[in-house]
A and B are shown apart, each in its own frame.
Chain A
Amino acid sequence: MPTPRSDHNPMDASRAVLELATRDALAALRHVAACLARRSHELLGLTCEPGVSGPGRLLVTVADDGRLDRLVAELRGLPEVCGARLAGTAAGCGLRLAEPAAA
């Protein structure tokens, strides 16, 4: 069986929006940004929505370079993040839903 290939050109990539449920949105913010930096993801936008009593939400827009599933898996592993999903992709790719982000 041939090895599956993953060859994407970031310049041609469409955008994707990741939705993260957080225990503490402000605390998660820096960890999420650092994770994106460490894995060389293009961060295109980041919205932080702190919750009233702790839990909150982050909306992260990144270039879809074919590594989104792995990025979502990595973000799910951050202690401050309690759920992560691919909320949607732009550039006419239609909405791709992953499992819901837990509250």
Chain B
Amino acid sequence: MIRLTGARIIAQSLLRHGITTVAGIPGGANLPLFDAIAETPLRIVLARHEQGAGFIAQGLARVTGRPQVCLATSGPGVMNLLTAIADAKADSVPLVCITGQVPRGLLGTDAFQEVDVYGLTIPIAKHNMLVRRAADLPRLMAEAFAIAASGRPGPVVIDVPRDVQTEEAAFDDWPAADAGPVPALPGPADLAFAASLLARSERPLLYCGGGAARAGAQVAALAGMLDAPVVTTLMGLGLLPPDHPRYAGMIGMHGAPAANHLLARCDMLVAIGARFDDRATGDAKRFCPGASVVHIDIDPAEHHKNRQAHVALAGDAGRVLTALLPLVPARPRPGWTAIRERVALEHPFVLPGLGDPKSPYGMLAAVAGMLGPDAVVATDVGQNQMRAAQAWPCHRPGKFLTSGGLGTMGFGLPTAIGAALADPGRPVACVVGDGGLLMNVQELATLAELGLPVNILLMDNGVLGLVRQQQALFVGGRYTASTFAARPDFVALAASFGIAALDLEPCRDVRSALAAALAAPGPALVRLPVDPDAHVYPMVPPGAANHEMILEKRHAHAS
């Protein structure tokens, strides 16, 4: 017979599920849990804001591919965590979020620091639980990890009243590890129908999202058999290396011009682990308008949501493709190859300043080259994110961490900390703008405390860049509330946290300065001044089709 308090059951469950690090902030309602965790070998990372804790856990989860844990106390603690939970749901990141709650007797009384965590998190979490008895915790913890990791991953919230944490429970044994149900494969008739459509197609194109991340080999194999190009969404970056002969680039609002033009020409779209998000499709009615659609997704709820599919195949992308591949006849499609080559020539993608390390693209390229292909990059949201998506060479999935679905500014720094915690030997870059850095700037203290080798690449333009760009292009150049009148001295700010900082503005030998900053142990901040009117191109205007991109120098406000 095992006798433990609820808090100790949680702590032991974390160990049993392979957790080594948790991120969070203690408070009155979760003190027993922190106390119990302190008795174990688990490492507690004290974030400076619960949103930071949530994103640190996300960084850990996105790099390891396994569920990771964040902790918050009741009331404001969990309110601060909500954005990170919603972000994890949008990007299918496995998290287990354990929140303290007021004691059971005070539930529903508007007690101090009481909010309805269960109700608040229903629409933004994959699942949530309010624990009413310590005896339920062994089972609920096992279920939480299984649900977070299985099928389409996502965040699970476990709300634990303080007196449940201190309540003692007796149980015979720990529940067996539950890997969750293995998703079934599509039926043979559906697979055969999909294969027949693929065989008949003349201009097939593979459109891959984050759900295809573990299926790179199968995607490449199918592309080879069909003689087809592969395009990815923002979340699919790294599925194939940038120099792969089948890779045609990222599509969408700031995607590669040739990739966006190919979409309009294909007659067969194979969507793999992608959900036809509006940032990827542009005007959905004009996205691959003449194409048949085969949609492979582990979440059946995604089928026919934004685009009706001719064949919907539910299941893990790798397993479905493995079952589909033997049914697909391989044949060259020279006509399609000729079209692709012509489109590539007609719509080249030249990033301005790529050779100048004192420009945004040039700095990204220079740092990527110095850190090497194993580096992880965590971006923030905005122009910095789009520039990184366009310029950072992603060689493998799980190396480009970005808030793709929710688009959360403030994501970059804490997520980079989590990525560095996941693999301390791996170089980590954090690409961020000044607006996004200020949204979770308090985590500089966490970073300094941990001494992790996170290199913050700050693109400092003094504005909300992508907002300003939209104002320039679509709001008549009226820059309402997008300019920061007060500009922090970011080098001094970093120094105040004890973080080494480099300002590239006065540098003459930028490459040498960058190399020295990156080579130094511990964290570093590199500030690059950026022209607030330097726009990110191409840009698909809202409501336009993907091939109707605004290109550089094509718009009066953009020049």
A-to-B contact residues, CB < 8 Å: 1, 3-6, 30-31, 34, 37-38, 69-70, 73-74, 76-80
Contacts and interface: CB of A to CB of B under 8 A. Distances in A.
B180 to A, nearest CB: 10
Nearest to B143: A79
B535 interface: no
A6 B308 contact: yes
Contact of B123 (A34, A70, A77): A34
Contact of B292 (A1, A69, A74, A77): A1
B522 interface: no
Contacts, number: 45
A34 B310 contact: no
A60 to B, nearest CB: 16
Interface of B: 118-119, 122-123, 126-127, 143, 147, 151, 197, 289, 291-293, 299-301, 303-305, 307-308, 310
B123 A30 contact: no
A3, A4, A74 — which one has the most chain B CB atoms within 10 A of its CB? A3
Given A1-B310, A77-B151, A70 B305 contact: yes
Across the A-B interface, the 6 shortest Cβ-Cβ residue pairs? A74-B301, A73-B300, A4-B308, A34-B122, A79-B127, A1-B292
Contacts of B126: 79
A17 B308 CA distance: 23
Contact of A3 (B118, B122, B143, B308): B308
A39 B347 CA distance: 38
A77 B122 contact: no
A84 to B, nearest CB: 11
Contacts of B197: 1
A74 B126 CA distance: 12
A41 B64 CA distance: 37
6 contacts: A3-B310, A30-B122, A70-B301, A70-B304, A77-B300, A78-B127
A34 B304 CA distance: 20
Given A5-B308, A31-B122, A79-B126, 7 more contacts: A1-B292, A3-B307, A30-B118, A70-B304, A74-B300, A77-B299, A78-B127
Q: Is the interface of B mostly helix, strand, loop or mixed?
A: loop
B267 to A, nearest CB: 9
B122 A70 contact: no
Contacts of B127: 31, 78-80
B214 to A, nearest CB: 20
A7 B293 CA distance: 18
A31 B301 CA distance: 15
Nearest to A75: B301
A4 B310 contact: yes
B295 to A, nearest CB: 12
B301 A73 contact: yes
Contacts of A73: 300-301, 303
Nearest to B151: A77
Nearest to A80: B127
A77 B301 CA distance: 8
Nearest to A5: B308
A3 B197 CA distance: 13
A3 B271 CA distance: 14
A95 B224 CA distance: 46
A60 B295 CA distance: 28
Contacts of B307: 3
Contacts of B289: 3
A21 to B, nearest CB: 16
B281 to A, nearest CB: 13
A8 to B, nearest CB: 13
A38 B123 contact: yes
A3 B301 contact: no
Contacts of B305: 70
Nearest to B310: A1
Given A3-B293, A79-B147, A37 B123 contact: yes
Given A4-B308, A73-B301, A77-B299, A30 B119 contact: yes
Nearest to B307: A3
Nearest to B150: A79
B143, B289, B301, B310 — which one has the most chain A CB atoms within 10 A of its CB? B301
Contacts of A74: 300-301
Nearest to B288: A3
Nearest to B147: A79
Nearest to A69: B304
A34 B125 CA distance: 11
A3 B123 CA distance: 31
A76 B184 CA distance: 14
A4 B307 CA distance: 9
A38 B125 CA distance: 12
Contacts of A77: 151, 299-301
A5 B309 CA distance: 10
A38 B293 CA distance: 26
B304 A6 contact: yes
A38 B124 CA distance: 10
Contacts of B301: 70, 73-74, 77
A79 B157 CA distance: 13
B345 to A, nearest CB: 30
A5 B197 CA distance: 19
Contacts of A76: 300
Contacts of A30: 118-119, 122
B265 to A, nearest CB: 16
A73 B197 CA distance: 24
Contacts of B310: 1, 3-4
A74 B291 CA distance: 26
Contacts of B123: 34, 37-38
Nearest to A33: B122
Nearest to A2: B290
Given A3-B308, A4-B310, A30-B122, A70 B299 contact: no
A75 B197 CA distance: 30
Contacts of A80: 127
A32 B119 CA distance: 12
Contacts of B122: 30-31, 34
